[in-house]
Amino acid sequence: MSSVLKQIASLKGIQFQSYKQNKKDQRVFFLNSQNEGHGYTVLVEDLGDIDDNVNNTTLNQLKQKITFLKDCDHLNILKHKEDFIIDDKFIILMEKCQYSLKTHIQRKYLYVQIHLQVFIDFALQLLNAVEYLHSKNLYLSNFSNENIFLDENFNIKLHDFGLRKSINTLQAYKLFQIGANQKGFHYFAPEQLNSSLETYVLQTAEADIWSVGISLYLLAGSNLDHIYLLTRGLQQYQKQMQINEEMNLLLSQMLSQDPNKRPQISHIKQQFEIIKKNVNFKQNFLNTGYKQEEVEKFIKAQVMYQNDLNKESLQLLEELVENNQNNDMYLAWKARNLARFDRYQESQELADKAVSINPKNYFAFNVKGYIYSMTNELQLAEECLKTTISLNPQFITAVQNICNNYEENGKISESLEMYEQSNLHNPNNMQILINLSRIYLNNLKYENSMKYLQQNIKMYPYNYYSLYYLGLICKATKFYNKSQLCYKKIIQNDLFTVEESLVSILSQLGSIQFDKKQFEKSLKSYKKCQRLEPDENAYVFNVSLMKKLI
């Protein structure tokens, strides 16, 4: 793709400095020029073979989109600059942006609160953009916070809204389920989803209110696991502590299961304007204890950490700690980063300091527990991790850390008990249910394992581990056909994330087909395993054995 971007830069007569790809939308690139302030947001659409097999449907849809974009004049809608074709790619150049709104949503997971002023400003911008689309008789169909961009001045730029007038409810349900497994589902309203019947429903303003509500709910601090359950009616709206009572009430109304009870967009805007006037922003900024530029740097450091850019992350954290030596969260995060470099003594000192400043800093206790685990001081690790969990029972990472320690030391019953307790505090949590099922499965307690699997599959029917473990149970209990269906469902929906997972599934299929005396099918499965892992002797042997049996 970089070659296409170089051609674009050449056509525009610019020397581009860098580009980055929007993670969710594989077609979108942010192209930065060496000339300050110059650049483009680039949309690249594949048209097929431009000489022989142009996809006319895609081309016509793009032309429709271009027609609308050219006629569109709104601060919060991404502006069209130019469009052309390079080889088999349709290129749309739009105004320059920096990144998606999802960067700001990291605040929930990265322990930084969003300022109320920023939240209200984003909300009003987003509502203005959607209201403008509605005035053009257009509705949202590919909506998520990764399709909302921010420019250099933090103006929201809505991108990739749909031109379709209706939605396939069964297809939407499948996208929703698969997306939930990959943490990237669309913000479908409940009435747009149907698990058993293929119907078409009109795109509506009420469904868009739900989608905007989800976007703001995430911005206020919620998470995708809860939103998945909320959409399915399995959980209620949860009050967010980062926003005030009035905003929580408004969001809860926007996220009503009944579309007729959702307020109109004009009413929502009016309420946000009233809230904006009544909020004492100065006091809120003082209460947060963070400066805006520090918040951005803190977020950037943590995103780098999560993307394994450890040196770059540590450099930013060192700057933050140098200027804020008594900020317990900066200290705790620097400690966690140092631990990744095995600098345990320095890490321990920083984590201890963070706890001395704030005895309720559960993240710092988790870091201490991690360090003790790595230095094989398991009793101290257990104490710190239990403190973490007592301070925040919803912090699943600490639960998994302490259970990993238990299991590595053969304390399976202790691990099971911990997961059972955590399940009481975190009902319907996917990771907890998966681990409970795994432990019971490993101990051949299939009925117990199945209980948690069924609970998980009811909520997450396209989860890799649920289907994989269910396949193992069905195989062990000689329900071969059901076992095969589980593994085929994983393959058909691309639910595996690494090649090793695919090999494991193909190996299980080969084994089942062997047990059913389907030797030719078994041979095909083992041949695929052999191609993926040519040095694995077991697959060489199995291929040879199947050939002899055939």
> For residue 209, what is the domain's CATH number?
1.10.510.10
Q: Is residue 92 part of a domain?
A: yes
pLDDT tier at 372, thresholds 50, 70, 90: very high
Cα separation of 543 and 536, whole Å? 11
DSSP for 412-434 reads HHHHHHHHHHHHHHSTT-HHHHH
The reported pLDDT for the residue numbered 39 is: 76
Q: Is the pLDDT at 169 greater than 80, yes or no?
A: no
282 and 149: one domain? yes
240 and 353: one domain? no
Query: In a 3-state reduction of DSSP, which class is residue 91?
Result: strand
Q: Is residue 394 part of a domain?
A: yes
Q: Is residue 532 part of a domain?
A: no
Domain boundary among 51, 76, 96: 96
Please answer whether residues 335 and 354 qualify as being in contact, where contact means their C-beta atoms are separated by less than 8 angstroms. yes
The segment with the largest mean pLDDT, out of 14-28, 376-390, 448-462, is 376-390
323 and 414: one domain? yes
Q: Per-residue pLDDT tens for 97-125?
A: 877 777 655 544 444 556 677 788 889 99
Mean pLDDT over each residue of the chain, to the nearest integer: 81
Q: Is residue 237 part of a domain?
A: yes
Cα separation of 417 and 428, whole Å? 17
Containing domain of residue 11, as a range?
2-96
Task: Spell 350-372 as b/e; 16+ CB within 10 A means b.
Answer: bbebbbebbeebbbbbbbbbbbb
What would the two tokens of residue 280 be? 């004492």
Please answer whether residues 494 and 505 qualify as being in contact, where contact means their C-beta atoms are separated by less than 8 angstroms. no
**The total number of structural domains that make up the chain:** 3
pLDDT tier at 151, thresholds 50, 70, 90: confident
Across residues 242-250, what is the average pLDDT? 85
Please answer whether residues 516 and 508 qualify as being in contact, where contact means their C-beta atoms are separated by less than 8 angstroms. no
Cα separation of 203 and 84, whole Å? 30
Q: Is residue 517 part of a domain?
A: no
Q: Is residue 492 part of a domain?
A: no
The reported pLDDT for the residue numbered 116 is: 75
387 and 343: one domain? yes
Domain boundary among 259, 287, 315: 287
Across residues 338-360, what is the average pLDDT? 94
Name the residue among 159, 157, 185 with its Cα closest to residue 24: 185
273 and 309: one domain? no
The segment with the largest mean pLDDT, out of 77-86, 275-284, 452-461, is 77-86
Q: Which residues contact 175 (CB under 8 A, 6 or more apart)?
A: 185, 186, 188
Task: Spell 1-17 as b/e; 16+ CB within 10 A means b.
Answer: eeebbeebbeeeebebe
What would the two tokens of residue 184 be? 């990237």
Q: Per-residue pLDDT tens for 500-516?
A: 678 888 999 999 999 89
The reported pLDDT for the residue numbered 54 is: 56
Instruction: Give the other-Cβ count within 10 Å of 198's Cβ.
Output: 10
Between 511 and 37, residue with greater pLDDT: 511
pLDDT tier at 199, thresholds 50, 70, 90: confident
133 and 257: one domain? yes
The CATH number of whichever domain residue 38 belongs to comes to: 3.30.200.20
- pTM for this prediction: 0.56
Q: How many CA atoms lie within 13 A of 516 on its CB side?
A: 19
Q: Is residue 149 part of a domain?
A: yes
The reported pLDDT for the residue numbered 12 is: 67
